[in-house]
C-alpha cells in the first residue's frame, strides 16, 4: 500500500473513532435534550409561559394563579393524563383559567410533548 493511501486510511479511522466518541446511542441523550427544550418552551413568555401562573424549580418571577408544579409524577402517575390536561384543561374544569395549549394550537404537538417531558420531571 502506498504511503498516501495509508495516510488516508489513518485519517478516516481517526475520524470514525472521533465521531464514535461524540455520537450517542438513540434515546440516551435525547431525553435530556427534549426535557431541556421543554423547559425552554415552558419558560418562554411567548410560548408556554407556564411561569405566568405556576411556581416551579429554576423559575424566575412565577405567578401564583395555578398550583406549584412539584411532585408531578405522583400527581399524574399516567403521563398521558398530564398531557391531556395541558392539551385542553377545560375538559376536566370548564371554568379553568389555564389556556388549552394544544386545542388552540398555542403549542405544536412536538412542543407540547417536550413541555410534558419537562414538567413530568418536576
In the prediction, which pLDDT does 86 show? 94
> Smallest Cα–Cα separation from 121: which of 45, 31, 43?
31
pLDDT band at 75 (very low <50, low <70, confident <90, very high): very high
In the prediction, which pLDDT does 27 show? 45
How far is it, in rounded angstroms, from Cα 122 to Cα 74? 10
How far is it, in rounded angstroms, from Cα 12 to Cα 16? 6
Q: Supply the mean pLDDT for the chain.
A: 80
* Percent with pLDDT over 70 in the chain: 74
pLDDT at 61 over 80: yes
pTM: 0.71
What number is the average pLDDT over the span 73-90?
94
11-25, 30-44, 46-60, 64-78: the lowest-pLDDT one: 11-25
pLDDT at 117 over 50: yes
How far is it, in rounded angstroms, from Cα 47 to Cα 49? 6
pLDDT at 7 over 60: no
Q: What is the 3-state secondary structure (H, E, C) of the chain?
A: CCHHHHHHHHHHHHHHHHHHHHCCCCCCCHHHHHHHHHHHHHHCCCCCCHHHCCCCCCCCCCCCCCCCCCCHHHHCCCHHHHHHHHHCHHHCCCCCCCCCCCCCCCCCHHHHHHHHHHHCCC
User: In 10 A of CB 108, how many CB atoms?
Assistant: 13
For the chain, give the number of residues. 122
Amino acid at each position: 500500500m502506498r504511503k498516501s493511501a495509508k495516510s488516508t486510511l489513518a485519517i478516516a479511522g481517526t475520524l470514525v473513532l472521533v465521531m464514535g466518541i461524540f455520537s450517542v446511542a438513540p434515546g440516551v441523550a435525547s431525553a435530556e435534550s427534549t426535557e431541556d427544550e421543554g423547559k425552554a418552551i415552558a419558560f418562554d413568555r411567548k410560548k408556554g409561559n407556564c411561569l405566568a401562573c405556576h411556581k416551579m424549580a429554576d423559575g424566575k418571577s412565577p405567578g401564583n394563579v395555578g398550583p406549584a408544579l412539584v411532585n408531578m409524577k405522583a400527581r399524574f402517575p399516567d403521563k398521558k393524563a398530564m398531557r391531556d390536561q395541558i392539551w385542553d384543561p377545560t375538559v376536566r374544569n370548564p371554568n379553568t383559567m389555564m389556556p388549552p395549549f394544544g386545542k388552540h394550537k398555542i403549542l405544536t404537538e412536538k412542543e407540547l410533548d417536550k413541555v410534558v417531558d419537562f414538567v413530568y420531571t418536576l
